Structure 1
Amino acid sequence: MTAIPVDDIGAFVGPPSLLAAGADHGPLAGRTLAVKDLFDVAGTVTGAGNPDFAAGRSPAIAHAPAVELLLRAGASVVGKTVTDELAYSLSGTNVHHGSPRNVAAPGRVSGGSSAGSAAAVAAGLVDLALGTDTGGSIRVPASYCGTYGWRPTHGAVPIDGVVPLGATFDTVGLFARDPHLLAAAAAVLLGDGGGTAGPLASRGPARAASTDAPLEPGTPIADVATTAASEIGGAGAATAPRLRWIAEAVAELPPSLAADLVASVHGLGPDVDVVELGLDLEAAAGAFRALQGRQAWTAHGPWITEARPTFGPGIAARFAAASRVTDDEVAGAEVVRARVTEAVLAATADGTVLAMPAAAGPAPLLRTSGEEHDRQRAQTLRLTCLAGLAGAPVVVAPLLRAEGLPFGLAFVGAPGTDTALLAFVASLSTP
């Protein structure tokens, strides 16, 4: 019998209920799963955080592939979670559905746009939660709520059946309190493990990390998280990869917090150094905003123009700005994107893992003004845009505190090293 949580923090869209039961056997059997309200779950309307958007949609006739994969691996869906409207925010505030309560930082935002998913995991309402990350929508809530979060390599996890925002940045990822469970669930989404075979498992036998042995249902979660650590750094590499903190990113923090972050990173292993990417983070963030804006308007502009939906002020302002992005701005942004991608790939080419703050600070107060939210969002975007522009995987770990509040450390790997990156982060919590 699947335990249905009692939502006393406003994390879910409507009361939690068993929306889809997971398979009886599999690596995630018995686990509860919350799903961000951008994903199709058969029999439910995908509302994307906006009542006008929901009003124009019929109940989904099938699960999004990512949901289906987790169901086949044994996880059961117990509800859909609150998202910022059309995922176009990092704050976790929604004028229609409210702001999920952040139990790890009372009186402060949970972060967005995967606000309800992060809040539900942090509060222990579910074991796992699906989210999306375009410009930081998993990384920022994970940091604010003190959970683990994974943004995959772009294109590594199927995005079908998910309301889009920025097609070349959108990713499907996860939240969990346990990094070993996060790695096990990620293995399912990456095709490294799962439950009953079917059309979505047609790529051949699922494999655990880089070994030749198929990952069988029921494989211990800790085993999934530890079998691939040597992938980072190449075949035969030591479990602990070379770790380098990004100078430009750390410089975005207040001095005391920057010092704490650097000290924490140096405490994680013997081979820790600093790297300068040689990038202008403001230019990188501007390029990201232009490209995301053009793609967001392409995805939703026709509907917005016709339906004239009611948006919160921040969302409305971002879509208005998106509608004005020019072809010249897009062309210039692509040049910057190529430069960022080249820098990140060069810095991670030898298996190095990059460490950086997951956000520009701890969770802002709920009563923070709109202008201050915008300032903090812009500062955080200067950090999160790097992996977004490069399509690189990121795992956020709740390893730091700032002002007594959760503050996540983000680990960035080369594209395609998700399994090894997850294993490395899991190893940090293994005695």
Structure 2
Amino acid sequence: MAVKDVVALGGHRVGAGNPTVLAGAPVETADADAVRLLRLAGAAVAGIARTDELAFALSGANAHYGMPPNPAAPELVSGGSTSGPAAAVAAGLADLGLGTDTAGSVRVPASVCGLYGLRPTHGAVSLDGVLGLAPSFDTVGWLAADPGVLHAVGDVLLPPGMPVRPGRLFVVAPPGSAERGTTSAREGPVEVAARLADALDVRLVVGPMREDPDAAALLAAFRAVQAAQAWRLHGPWITAHPGALDAEVEARFRVGATIDADAERRAERLIAEGRARLLDRIGADTWIVRPATAGPAHPRSAGREERDTWRQATLACTVAASAYGLPSCVVPTAPAALAAAGPADPRPAPVGVAIVGPPDADRALLAAAVALGRSALT
């Protein structure tokens, strides 16, 4: 496994993608819980992999250490903030990428690197030994090229429980997001959901359902709570080390200093009310299938405006699962469809599809990923 540089490994320091953090960090005396459990199950650590600074970005662009490659699309970024583990897995240097997902930091790299990735139900996997960003949304997540590996990790890290099978799949494909980047050689959410419905023998519904009456308000509330919590965790260090962070990343953190307690409570209330409405609407037997990101990753040469546009559009795809603490499993489009493009028709850049389930549906989502992987081979 390639381990994101926010997860403790005994005998090493956590650098969190920043050389000043690394220089001042103590040597860890023990592995993070997730690493310890995976080692006990037979996993070995291949190396410590890069992250966006303090895990507060989605592109994989690090001002200090550069951008990890995206072997699936060399001209594009690998996504972040679990950028290094995704690159290592996509390059065949590791079977498993272990990282964290707060706003999409496992799901985004999985999508744009053509991998499987899971953000588990919030609180399902121990965060002991993991550097936090926003505790209300932080999760340990993982990604792999083989859905069987993704499932095996879940057997180790997830609590025991009966799989929550769906009674129906509801497909959401927001206009102007991931379908904008599709081609005839790539599946979209509807095609993936149809394969999944066939594999699981469940009903497929396609429609314009939205997770919240005002998706923009949900995103704003999520960002307010995330920024406020991130500033409480890291603001004192940032204040004591002026200029240590890239300016864009520091500006993102400093938004949290402007959010007062009343504003944070209002945002938390909006999120709680939206979660209750969604769970009441879908019940315990509906899974939502939707684009994992706003199209392919952006070019490595993209300027700030292009990066920000892509980031905001991608957050619109990822934030509901993050805000509501729901499990979300990203699956790549069918390998057969990707392989169909020859030299005269370049292979399209990967765009994954996310399957979002109700709380504690993690094991069933992983089983679904394995079923989809098998169906792609037939």
Do they superpose with TM above 0.5? Answer: yes
Pairwise CA distance, 1:403: 7.9
In the TM superposition, what whole-angstrom CA distance separates every residue of 1:143-164 from its partner, at most 9, and x where no partner exists? Answer: 0101000000000000011111
State yes or no: 1:38 paired with 2:19: no
Which of residues 346, 351, 370 in structure 2 aligns to 1:407? 351
Which structure 2 residue ranges, 5 or more long, are not aligned?
Answer: 339-345
CA distance in 2 between counterparts of 1:300 and 1:93 reads: 20
State the match for 2:343 in structure 1.
none
Do the aligned partners of residues 123 and 73 (structure 1) sit closer, same or farther apart at CA in structure 2, a change above 3 Å counting?
Answer: same
Which of residues 108, 115, 125 in structure 1 aligns to 2:76? 108
CA distance in 1 between counterparts of 2:262 and 2:310 reads: 27
Deviates more, 1:134-143 or 1:378-387: 378-387
Which of residues 361, 368, 373 in structure 1 aligns to 2:295? 361
Q: Give the conservation status (yes or no) of the 8 Å contact 1:127–1:176.
A: yes
CA distance in 1 between counterparts of 2:139 and 2:182 reads: 29
CA distance in 1 between counterparts of 2:50 and 2:98 reads: 12
Pairwise CA distance, 1:107: 1.3
State the match for 2:327 in structure 1.
393
Pairwise CA distance, 1:309: 4.6
Which of residues 189, 192, 206 in structure 2 aligns to 1:274? 206
Pairwise CA distance, 1:98: 0.9
Pairwise CA distance, 1:64: 0.4
State the match for 1:47 in structure 2.
15
Pairwise CA distance, 1:43: 0.4
Do the aligned partners of residues 172 and 332 (structure 1) sit closer, same or farther apart at CA in structure 2, a change above 3 Å counting?
Answer: same
Pairwise CA distance, 1:329: 2.4
Letter in 2 for 1:171: T
Which of residues 104, 107, 113 in structure 2 aligns to 1:136? 104
Q: Give the conservation status (yes or no) of the 8 Å contact 1:53–1:309.
A: no
Partner-residue secondary structure (3-state), 2:9: coil
Q: Give the conservation status (yes or no) of the 8 Å contact 2:228–2:255.
A: no
Deviates more, 1:394-403 or 1:305-314: 394-403
State the match for 1:8 in structure 2.
none
State the match for 2:341 in structure 1.
none
Identity of aligned residues (%): 44
Pairwise CA distance, 1:262: 2.7
Do the aligned partners of residues 347 and 399 (structure 1) sit closer, same or farther apart at CA in structure 2, a change above 3 Å counting?
Answer: farther
Which of residues 366, 373, 377 in structure 1 aligns to 2:311? 377
CA distance in 1 between counterparts of 2:361 and 2:7 reads: 25
State yes or no: 1:418 paired with 2:371: no
Pairwise CA distance, 1:330: 1.2
State the match for 1:284 in structure 2.
218
> 1:312-391 maps to which residues of 2 (within 5 A)?
312-391=246-325
TM-score by length of 1: 0.78
Which of residues 119, 123, 126 in structure 2 aligns to 1:151? 119
Do the aligned partners of residues 49 and 370 (structure 1) sit closer, same or farther apart at CA in structure 2, a change above 3 Å counting?
Answer: same
Do the aligned partners of residues 109 and 256 (structure 1) sit closer, same or farther apart at CA in structure 2, a change above 3 Å counting?
Answer: closer
Do the aligned partners of residues 354 and 254 (structure 1) sit closer, same or farther apart at CA in structure 2, a change above 3 Å counting?
Answer: closer
Which is helix-richer, 1 or 2? 2
CA distance in 2 between counterparts of 1:42 and 1:133 reads: 22
Do the aligned partners of residues 163 and 255 (structure 1) sit closer, same or farther apart at CA in structure 2, a change above 3 Å counting?
Answer: closer
CA distance in 1 between counterparts of 2:281 and 2:293 reads: 21
CA distance in 2 between counterparts of 1:293 and 1:309 reads: 19
The Cα RMSD (Å) is 2.0
CA distance in 1 between counterparts of 2:238 and 2:149 reads: 39
Letter in 2 for 1:273: V
Q: Give the conservation status (yes or no) of the 8 Å contact 1:393–1:413.
A: yes
User: Which structure has more RCO (C-alpha within 8 Å, separation ≥ 6)?
Assistant: 2
Letter in 1 for 2:168: R
CA distance in 2 between counterparts of 1:177 and 1:347 reads: 33
